[in-house]
Amino acid sequence: MAQQLQEQKKYSRIVNLYYNKYIIFGEKMPWKDKNIIKEVLNTREQFDISTFVETGTFEGIGARFWSKHFDFVHTCEIDEKRYNLSIANCRKYKNIFIYHKNSPEFLAEFKKKHGDISVIYLLDAHWDDYWPILDELKTLENTLNCSILIHDFHSPGQGLGHDKYNKIRLNMAYVKDYLFKVNPNFSCYYNLKKYSELWSVDDIMESDVLFDSDSVTSQKYNWSNKEGCKRGILLCTPAELKNTTLSNVLTHIG
């Protein structure tokens, strides 16, 4: 009987571990692409970045992920319900700061308070009629020490997922006038599909860093829609990025 109980406990521990780990890469977790994560951490190392700033919190799952890799995460969400849910989801993460704000206002306040420190900005606020990306970049004008990551960006010729609003594609042509006012010397990079690699169940099971005991949801979507989960990015850094698998963007101002 005792042995049976012990076996049961062991089994339930494994199930919990398995189940809880899944959320991080489940339906709600946009950071399914190992290569993008690797490049963000590469940027962190090279530019000595300790703060991750995100626009568009959604449910705070991405923020929780990045909080394991940066000293501080600041993130803003415009939608009240999502903001409240994020607060609840992140309550145990003392290095995450969540703001209920429209992203350009949040960025203006962040910049006023922290100045031009070495941070990485993930610009990921979208889905509403108002698409704030250009206003966000405008707010960041003349912020020479930052790096910028834009998710769901068109990486030409790659067939990776990206966004379109009112038939406007999220691409270099759309953002470049604003982007190079943030830093005229930005080095800019796209990701390549051949390096896009989703986490497997085994990776997740083996990973200590990414374990999150609070979360519960389904992971099925990831593996049922592998191609849809492969998304384009634009990464801009204040100087040339070393040891990267990303492809240099050849566009310049003008």
Ligand X SMILES: C[S@@+](CC[C@H](N)C(=O)[O-])C[C@H]1O[C@@H](n2cnc3c(N)ncnc32)[C@H](O)[C@@H]1O
Question: Which residues make up the interface to ligand X (CB under 6 A)?
Answer: 30, 54-56, 58, 61-62, 76-79, 82, 102-103, 124-128, 130, 132
How far is residue 74's CA from residue 53's CA, in Å, rounded to a whole number?
Answer: 5
Contact 122, 110 (CB under 8 A): no
CA distance 196 to 152: 13
CB of 127 to ligand X, least distance (A): 5
Q: Which of 155, 215, 247, 181 is nearest to 22 (CA)?
A: 215
Q: Which residue is nearest to ligand X (CB)?
A: 62
Q: Minimum Å distance from CB 65 to ligand X?
A: 8
Distance of CA 134 to the CA centre of its chain: 18
Q: Tell me the β-bridge partners of 190.
A: 234, 247
Query: Which CB, 55 or 237, lies closer to ligand X?
Result: 55
- Judged by beta carbon, residue 127 or residue 174, the one nearer ligand X is 127
Task: Write 201-204 long-range contacts (CB < 8 A, 24+).
Answer: 203/34, 204/21, 204/22, 204/24, 204/25
174 vs 251 by CB, closer to ligand X: 174
Q: Which is nearer to ligand X, 132 or 232 (CB)?
A: 132
Edge-to-edge order in the sheet of strand 119-123: 96-99, 72-76, 51-55, 119-123, 147-151, 233-237, 187-190, 247-248
Collapsing DSSP to helix, strand or coil, 147 comes out as strand
Which token pair is 49? 């970045």
Q: Which is nearer to ligand X, 61 or 90 (CB)?
A: 61
Which residue number, 134 or 187, has a Cβ lying nearer to ligand X? 134
Minimum separation from the CB atom of position 47 to ligand X (A): 21
Amino acid identity, residue 155? S
